[in-house]
Structure 1
Amino acid sequence: MFISPPVTSPLSQTCTMASLSLYLGLLVLCTLALVHCDLNDGPIRVYDIRASNLKGRLLSKPDPYVKVWCGSSHGKSSILKKQANPTWPDQFNFVNILPNSVLTLQVWDDVIGPDRYMGTCSTTICPGTHTEICQLKMSTVYYTYSYSH
């Protein structure tokens, strides 16, 4: 008795190849997602940002605000009018921050025309909750951050 091999049509071969391509594509996407997501990435919260002795132009008080960066994430605080010793109500929450990223705060004075740069504070983040004190030319900036990874 002779048994003939199964007959496969070009259509069934095309469907099989399409299925294999789909599974292979999903496998590649899942692998890329795992490579992209560092399991050590974590959230950071920056809060309780305040300053003392900020100087405005001439005899006026400044209208200060803060720009905050960590990794590729960034934010901007509210502008506090006529405040030499501001406490900003804003807090910043950034996700997927890598260990040893740099947290940077810049203080600016909102003025007519280009805003006036007042100074920068930077620190390399580490796990836990930390209160930082940063000396600018004639003023001081205080802020707290919490980082977990």
Structure 2
Amino acid sequence: MRAVVVEQWGGPEQLVERELARPEPGLNEVLVRVHAAGVNPVDWKTRASGGLIEWGAVPAVGWDVSGTVEAVGPGVGVHRPGDEVYGMPLFPRQAGAYAEYVVAPARHLAPKPASLTHVEAAALPLAGLTAWQALVDAADVRPGERVLV
């Protein structure tokens, strides 16, 4: 499969396309055919410095992803092949969402809302989580309250 990796820390010119073996789902994991991957500040900050996450043998990049379940591993009951899903698998360990396929724990993915495109869904996980944490966890915003953004 084609995948974008970094072989050296630095700017966007360090992103290179490589052929990698297609991953196989293990226990409680799903294989997702990637339709879109999101790009967040943590992506470029990690690429620039090599910090912030645990790197594997081939530094694969990208977390936010949207796609279609291609296969499921043993123990997966919540997703089936053909399901459209999105999520932010494995963070802060590398997930490798900038690839044709990504393996993720089934619980790290949610059904993609039918009202969203894959591009829109891939842009949502980290940004949505950040907004939720700011509004619900930190600010304790309640139903009916107004928030100035």
> Structures share a fold, TM > 0.5?
no
- Per residue, is there more helix in 1 or in 2? 2
When the two structures are superposed, what TM-score results if normalisation uses the length of structure 1? 0.25
When the two structures are superposed, what TM-score results if normalisation uses the length of structure 2? 0.25
